[in-house]
Structure 1
Amino acid sequence: MTFSICVREAYEDDEGADQLRFGVAVTTRLPAVGTLCPFVSENGAVATQSLVNVELGRKGIAYIDDGLAVEDALQSLLNADEGAEQRQLHGVDADGGFTFSGEECHGWYGHTEGENYTVAGNLLTGESVVENVAETYAESGRDAPLAQRLIDALGAGYAEGGDKREELHVQSAAVKVRSTEEEDDPYYNDLRVDATETPIQDLRETYQLADEGFQAAMERYEQAMDEDDLAADEDEE
């Protein structure tokens, strides 16, 4: 019912320290996909889909947070899941990735994996949807924030045909990003569009507005700090 991408990126913060960020983005031809499929923490990203078992995502991230490798965490959950052959489950942690598509998923279904990402989808118009998502992310560079680049990757899959159930007009999309860096995440790192006929367009517009709002709030905060400093200087005089 969906296609999604999970990502790991290494980077240096402003102090030159090594950090990691993880992201997951997903879209489908059903409402509220952001409540069911994407899971992320400062240690990894997981997407659970097809016949969704939300516990695979919740417990998968919890196990990764406890120190289990993503492959061990997700495979152990599938081993205990009687409906595993109807599931798709994939994700990344600090060291690797994991992909699984059960044989009872509905076609087209499948997955792909790169050096620092995993992509999976089912009920798609074809394999090119997953390929376009992966290629668009892999070629995106690092100039834009990860959330924006993940939305662009979803857009590439959607433009290729996406979910094949065109009779289902109510759609949704979501993006989540977390980092090992100790800072407040920007407002655009956890966004959802729960019910719309244009999920990628609406998610992109939501991102743009959230970015504008975040920048405006930061400018106002910095201005207030400057005014407080000025008032303190005047009091000392």
Structure 2
Amino acid sequence: MTFSICVRERYTDGSGDGQIRFGVAVTTRLPGVGALCPFVSEDGAVATQSHTNVDLGRKGLAYLADGLAVEDALDALLSADEGRERRQLHGVDADGTFAFSGDECGEWYGHRVGQNYTVAGNLLVGSAVIEETAAAYESAAHGESPLVERLIDALAAGQAAGGDKREDLPVQSAAVRVETTEEGDRTGPSYDDLRVDATETPIADLRETFETAVRGYEDALARYADDDE
């Protein structure tokens, strides 16, 4: 199912404590990708695609919550999966990264592992999709913009490089999710979990959804500011 990116970013919260934010974003030429591929929690981010097995994402996060390293958690799940050669699975936790592309994924397929991120894709026009997605994220890593926005930018770069090659499938989808280790901030602002389930312009629509959600979030903060004083 096309291409996705998983990232981790360390930051300092308002109290001066070290925290980590995890994010995952994905797009494909099929509807509803947000319900199937991206998984994220305060323990890490995982993307499962290419003959998607949602249990790999769900159980992957459960294993991370139990204290397993992402490499051990995802490798163990793949070892027990009879369809592993048709899968792509990648992700990050607080310290490690993992990426796997089975030999039976649809051409072009592949993945890239960076210091704090992973990118993977299949049924793409070529390797440039992965490279441009990674480059766009690297150039803006730890930038001032919200991680959600920067992940959308990374998807846009991959899409501009050609994206999914199945042009006979016009209905597409995209999703982005972010969570942090910050106590009391498990869900984050209302724009940290966004999906566009069926459209012919997934990245543009996801960006518009993000911008609208930010405006709505800021309007709500202003509207109820007096109630919190």
Fold equivalence (TM over 0.5): yes
Q: Show structure 2 runs of 5+ residues with no match.
A: none
Q: Deviations over 1:151-193 (max 9, x none)?
A: 0000000011000000000000000000001234101100000
Q: Secondary structure at the residue paired with 2:224?
A: helix
27-36 or 213-222: bigger deviation: 213-222
Partner residue, 1:12: 12
Q: Secondary structure at the residue paired with 1:119?
A: strand
Partner residue, 1:78: 78
Partner residue, 2:177: 176
User: How many Å apart are 1:225 and its aligned residue?
Assistant: 3.6
Q: Secondary structure at the residue paired with 2:164?
A: coil
Q: Give, in whole Å, the separation in 2 of the partners of 1:145 and 1:45.
A: 17
Q: Give, in whole Å, the separation in 2 of the partners of 1:124 and 1:31.
A: 17
Q: Secondary structure at the residue paired with 2:151?
A: helix
Q: Give, in whole Å, the separation in 1 of the partners of 2:137 and 2:228.
A: 38
- Normalised by the length of structure 2, the TM-score is 0.97
Q: Give, in whole Å, the separation in 2 of the partners of 1:94 and 1:15.
A: 20
The one-letter code matched in structure 1 to 2:57 is G
Partner residue, 1:27: 27
The one-letter code matched in structure 1 to 2:19 is Q
Q: Give, in whole Å, the separation in 2 of the partners of 1:213 and 1:26.
A: 24
Partner residue, 2:194: 191
Q: Give, in whole Å, the separation in 2 of the partners of 1:135 and 1:186.
A: 27
Query: 4+ residue runs of structure 1 moved beyond 2 angstroms?
Result: 223-226
Q: Secondary structure at the residue paired with 1:153?
A: helix
Partner residue, 2:224: 221
- Normalised by the length of structure 1, the TM-score is 0.94
Q: Secondary structure at the residue paired with 1:188?
A: coil
Partner residue, 1:132: 132
User: How many Å apart are 1:143 and its aligned residue?
Assistant: 0.8
Partner residue, 1:233: none
Partner residue, 1:235: none
184-193 or 84-93: bigger deviation: 184-193
User: How many Å apart are 1:66 and its aligned residue?
Assistant: 0.9
Q: Give, in whole Å, the separation in 1 of the partners of 2:31 and 2:197.
A: 5
The one-letter code matched in structure 2 to 1:208 is E
Higher helix residue share = 1
Partner residue, 2:153: 152
Q: Secondary structure at the residue paired with 1:34?
A: helix
Q: Secondary structure at the residue paired with 1:139?
A: helix
Q: Secondary structure at the residue paired with 1:187?
A: coil
Q: Give, in whole Å, the separation in 2 of the partners of 1:180 and 1:217.
A: 24
Q: Show structure 1 runs of 5+ residues with no match.
A: 227-237
Q: Secondary structure at the residue paired with 2:140?
A: coil
Partner residue, 1:232: none
Across the two proteins, how many residue pairs are aligned to each other?
Answer: 226
Q: Secondary structure at the residue paired with 2:52?
A: coil
User: How many Å apart are 1:223 and its aligned residue?
Assistant: 2.9
215-224 or 24-33: bigger deviation: 215-224
Q: Give, in whole Å, the separation in 2 of the partners of 1:182 and 1:174.
A: 25
User: How many Å apart are 1:8 and its aligned residue?
Assistant: 0.4
Q: Give, in whole Å, the separation in 2 of the partners of 1:224 and 1:90.
A: 43
- Aligned sequence identity (%): 67
